[in-house]
Amino acid sequence: MSAGPLDGIVVLDLSRALAGPIAAMAMGDMGARVIKVETPSGGDDSRSWGPPFVGTEEDRHSTYFMSANRNKESVVADLKSDHGQETLTKLIRRADVLIENFRPGGFARLGFTPEVLEQINPRLITLSVTGFGHDGPEGARPGYDQIAQGEAGLMSVTGSPESGPTRIGVPIADVLAGIHGALGIASALIARQATGHGAVVRTSLLAASISAHVFHGTKWTVGKEVSEPTGNHHPQIAPYGSFRTRDGWVQLAVGTEAIWKCFAVAMGIDADDPRFATNHLRVSNRDVLVSRIEEALAASERSSLVEQLTEAGVPAGAIRTLDEVYEWDQTLSQGLVIDVDHAALGPIQLPGPAIRIETATGASILRNTHDAPPVLGEDTETIQLWLEETATEFGEQRTA
């Protein structure tokens, strides 16, 4: 039985919405104790984001909130009140990590400057997630995912020439900022073992989005070419994109010349056709090539085509709807759907963590079970009791 590699680490999640909660959830997935500190008046903003909501009209719960808050406890505290600040101070003394995504300077205005945090707990690691960075000429701007997608150029390379700039269908800036934040925390925890001191980890929606540019970034910084949206076809590899079959869509990734030869044989195309003989030529003659492929696939069934191409050594896959994804045997085999018991809803299923860690013998060293996202304030009494029981250990006055 394993509690996870971060068992014993205490994380305070003061963040709302998505990027910070995703980072905190990643810590919880790895076994850390994550205490989500929420305002009494509604808690995390995403608790009200919907529909869909589940539960009764009097006791409804946001599925959006559930996406980023598994494996956490919830305590309510008004951080503008003396009692709330006292509670948070006690929590900080016991914590290893604090995660916040206030606008730059917002947490300091509550009285918790970096110097105060250092005084309360010199071993504390703080993750600060902002929209555009904690400093710089536009650091004070508020940031939301779609705004960051636009400002960071992601929308300029998404969509098609006909559609114009298009947002990515998932909040990718938030997701990536959360992942980078979790990586920063893990690195700071390792560094603390050597130094004994905490650190401040910073990331932003802007930084996370720009980190995702990959070849689009170097296409400009090195090649001085500006990428444009190319729809579902790769701008620099062909054929590499989505194609319609008789009963759905498939994606093809012909990334090497060897794969091209296999694919051409399967499609009845002359691999040595002067228009298609190299990737550069295939990109230049993409429209003609795509037309040929679409003709060849028009009568094919999605599942049989993917099977045929896979057997031929050609990377291919279906474009699945989300219900198909969560019912797919491969998804289930990877532990990407987990069963939890929600305090108000009972047994529910959630998307599971993306990481598996195993020993050489195949034994998992991750936590064995997962907890449902908490109801607002569900653990307030338990946490207050824990603070009281550990008061002497942390040099505090017991109240009883």
Residues designated as active site: 174
- The residues near 322 (Cβ < 8 Å, ≥ 6 apart) are none
SS3 of the chain: the string is CCCCCCCCCEEEECCCCCHHHHHHHHHHHCCCEEEEEECCCCCCHHHHCCCCEEECCCCEEEHHHHCCCCCCEEEECCCCCHHHHHHHHHHHHHCCEEEECCCCCHHHHCCCCHHHHHHHCCCCEEEEEECCCCCCCCCCCCCCHHHHHHHCCCHHHCCCCCCCCCCCCCCHHHHHHHHHHHHHHHHHHHHHHHHCCCEEEEEEHHHHHHHCCCHHHHHHHCCCCCCCCCCCECCCCCCEEEEEECCEEEEEECCCHHHHHHHHHHHCCCCCCCCCCCHHHHHHCHHHHHHHHHHHHCCCCHHHHHHHHHHCCCCEEECCCHHHHHHCHHHHHCCCEEEEEECCCEEEEEECCCCCCECCCCCECCCCCCCCCCCCCCCHHHHHHHHHHCCHHHCCCCCC
Alpha carbon of 371 to those of 34, 143, 256: distances in Å?
11, 30, 44
Please give the structure tokens belonging to residue 83.
Answer: 């009692």
